[in-house]
Structures are given as C-alpha cells and as structure tokens.
Amino acid sequence: EVQLVQSGAEVAKPGESLKISCKGSGYMFTSHWISWVRQMPGKGLEWMGKIDPSDSYTSYSPSFEGHVIISVDKSISTVYLQWSSLRASDTAMYYCARHLRGSSREELDPWGQGTLVTVSS
Amino acid sequence: EIVLTQSPGTLSLSPGERATLSCRASQTIISSYLAWYQQKPGQAPRLLIYGASTRATGIPDRFSGSGSGTDFSLTISRLEAEDFAVYYCHQYGTPPTTFGQGTRVEI
C-alpha cells in the first residue's frame, strides 16, 4: 500500500525554526515527486512547493518562496518542510502528497495525514 | 496565476439526488490538467478525478468529471451519505498550480 506518514503536531513560538517530515512507503520513493500543501484553519488548500526526490530539484509557489525550504533524505524515504523563522500566520495544517505519476504534474495521490503546526507566543 | 472559481459555495441536497459542481478558470487550462478532490472533516483530501475526466483508483463510478478550456464540472450521480464533504478543483497545467475555494455539499 502506498502511504505517506507525516510527523506529529508541533507547537512553536514566533521566530523559532521548525522542520516537519513526510515518510513514503509502499512504492519506489525516488520515482515520484512530492508536494506540500497548506490549509489554514477553516480555509482552502494552497500549494506551497514540490521536490523531485531523485535529484532534490525543488520548485516553489511565489507565495511561499523564501519562507520555507523543502528537502529530502532519500536514504530514509523522507521529505521535509522547514522554516527558519516562524510567524503566527504559519499556523495551519500541512499536508504532503505524492504526485500520482512519475512526472512533475501535480496530480496528488495519496496525501499524508497532515501535520498541525501552531505558532503562538 | 490561474484563479479557479467554484460554484455554488454550498450545495444542499438529499441522499439519492444528483449533484453538479462547477469550476471556472480565469484562463484556459492546458491539456485539461484539472483535478477534483474530496475532503471530509478532519481528513486529508482525496483525489477523485484527474485529467478533467479520469477517475482515480477506487473511486466509484457515480463520480464523473467533464469540461475543457475554462469550464469544468464534477457530477455525483446519486448522492450517498458518505459523499457529503467539501470538494476542491485544482489546475496543474500552468505554474503555479492553484486550487479553487471549495464547494461544500451538505444535507
């Protein structure tokens, strides 16, 4: 079974750094891009960026570029989303999702269970 | 970026009824790179349709997608209790990929 399992909920303060993870299993990890999607409380879905696990190539939405970094550790089939300086407005649920086919096209299936990030002083 | 506008915002229907959800794009979506996702409360989204009309694995045939260019729709032929959820359209033909604001299907 193809599965993405994300790290647990996090609580952090504004200005702190944070790294959350997404571990893939049940498929050839380096054959499928992974995207990150944000969902703020009670709101819709926003695509943040994606990574090709085979070569670590990344692409970001202009709305998120410079504020987050997406990285990968192929040896443990895990993709990361990190912030160097959190803001209160980063409070949201974050989902990772695998690209359905072996391309950069963002047909997202399956999704991880989500990681809730709460930023509060 | 391409803006996707979904209508209606909320659809109030009963089990057994037909639901038609609309997604209109601000520009032509190339190669019909349009997907639909279902999200239930407290759950991650689930891919229903990609390429405008191809059902994802395991999706019942009561779900169908159609459209091209700037106008797309998702139809649920006979609503079942488990179908009451929020539905998002999503274009991935022109970077950056964007989502619609969602349509809630409620009883």
Q: What is the pLDDT of residue A8?
A: 98
CB of B103 within 8 A of CB of B24? no
In this complex, the residue of B47, B51, B98 whose CB is nearest that of residue A108 is: B47
Give pLDDT tens digits along chain B (107 positions). 999 999 999 999 999 999 999 999 999 998 889 999 999 999 999 999 999 999 999 999 999 999 999 999 999 999 999 999 999 999 999 999 999 999 999 98
Task: Please judge whether B45 and A95 are an interchain contact, meaning their C-beta atoms are less than 8 angstroms apart.
Answer: yes
Q: What is the pLDDT of residue B107?
A: 84
In this complex, the residue of B35, B44, B95 whose CB is nearest that of residue A113 is: B44
Kindly tell me if the per-residue pLDDT of A103 is higher than 90: no
Question: Shortest CA distance to B65 belongs to which of B80, B56, B54?
Answer: B54
Q: What is the pLDDT of residue A118?
A: 98
A102 — pLDDT class (breaks 50, 70, 90): confident
As given in the structure block, the two tokens for residue B83 are: 């179908």
